[in-house]
Amino acid sequence: MKVKEIVLMNPHDKLINKNFINYIDTSSVNDGILQDVQYITSNFPSRAQRVIKMNDILISSVRPNLKHNYLVNIDKPNLVASTGFIHIRCSTNRVLPQYLYYFLSSDKRINLYTMIANSSQTTFPSFNKEVIENLELKEISIDIQQHIIDIIKDSVGGEL
């Protein structure tokens, strides 16, 4: 199955409260680890456009070799990410968000994104959401997906 068959890409949710945001920029995450959330009450960055929720996936579309990717595992009001991320939300029970995150952030995929980004004609090496939408993902049972997640978590010493 293609990824686009099981996800929403860059969904357009609205802010609950326009008086503040909890902002995640591409530099706020590093290889699955959230390092910073900026609480901003005015002069929101123009790139602060992606309203995100728990279990959403953020894949940096700019300089993908830097691995600024994140599976959202915090629940904060008005959580907003930069448009420098491709925002992915599972839309079906056919795939676990963490399994899809591991697939999309694997070295094989990062190498693909980097190769495409480096051949782009943009100011910074980047790729677009269609690259992810058109990836083929083998359909496997939820039980096997969970087993793969458990193996990966055990190999890195716990939760990512």
Instruction: Name all domains of the chain by residue range, CATH numbers in brackets.
Output: 3-155 (3.90.220.20)
Q: Which of 51, 56, 48, 135 is nearest to 84 (CA)?
A: 48
Quote the CA–CA distance of 46 and 106 in Å, as a whole number.
30
Q: For residue 18, which phi and psi values (nearest 5 degrees)? A: -85, 10
* Residue 134: count of CB within 10 angstroms of its CB: 10
Mind listing the pLDDT tens digit for each residue in 66-103? Answer: 999 999 999 999 999 999 999 999 998 999 999 999 99
Does the predicted TM-score (pTM) go above 0.85? yes
**Residue 157 pLDDT greater than 80, yes or no:** no
Q: Which of 67, 68, 97, 66 is nearest to 81 (CA)?
A: 68
Pairing of the two strands 57-60 and 70-71 = antiparallel
Mind listing the pLDDT tens digit for each residue in 112-144? Answer: 999 999 998 878 899 999 999 999 999 999 999
